[in-house]
Amino acid sequence: AQKVTQAQTEISVVEKEDVTLDCVYETRDTTYYLFWYKQPPSGELVFLIRRNSFDEQNEISGRYSWNFQKSTSSFNFTITASQVVDSAVYFCALLSGANSKLTFGKGITLSVRP
Amino acid sequence: DGGITQSPKYLFRKEGQNVTLSCEQNLNHDAMYWYRQDPGQGLRLIYYSQIVNDFQKGDIAEGYSVSREKKESFPLTVTSAQKNPTAFYLCASTPGLAGGPRETQYFGPGTRLLVL
């Protein structure tokens, strides 16, 4: 069975601080995909990144970076120099198996204070 | 512009009433999905459809029904059998099932359903 654990439920930081959002996953499949989505107060889920299980390269996109480590089954997300606009709920998700069903974590509410 | 639209943004349901939530996409995606989100919870899959005229139950299908008569449309009906329908409902689509970028699900803006 697939499972995604986001142990942090709420994080509050002051603007310009760096913040890391943790994600731990479980799957028995060797081929799988990991995702991060952002849900701002408007409610729509915004796709941020997709990673497949064969690509462990870390990725950086502007202030965002992702650290994928298969050895610890983790796919952590770091925001550098956080901004108020980063305030949102962030979901980590896992897609594995032939039925392409996404399994979501419970989300982390990030509040960035000015 | 290509994307996924959901309507209405807010929907009110009376006891014993069936209501239908609309989801339309013009991305030419094959697969479409319905999720339910409760406060402080992740998304849970209600139904999904990989091709027209075919759909599968997700993890919490009881009290819901769907149809997929057209590729671009996947309406969700919340029936009176769903005893706790108050939630945020999100529709998503993805190009297909095989490898590559086609696994990424793109979401609509959501419909918030409230019971009167």
Buried b (16+ CB within 10 A) or exposed e, A23-52: bbbebeeeebbbbbbbbeeebbbeebbbbe
Looking at A26-40, B76-90, B98-112, which range is the least confident one? B98-112
Q: What's chain B's length in residues?
A: 116
Of the CA atoms within 13 Å of residue B80, those in its CB half-sphere come to: 5
Residue B105: list chain A partners with CB under 8 A.
35, 47, 102
Give me the mean pLDDT over the A27-53 stretch: 92
For B87, nearest residue in chain A (alpha carbons) = A43
Residue A33: list chain B partners with CB under 8 A.
103
Neighbouring CB atoms inside 10 A of B35's CB total 27
pLDDT in tens, B37-95: 998 788 999 999 988 999 999 999 999 999 999 999 999 999 988 889 999 999 999 88
The pLDDT confidence band at residue A98, using thresholds 50, 70 and 90, is: low
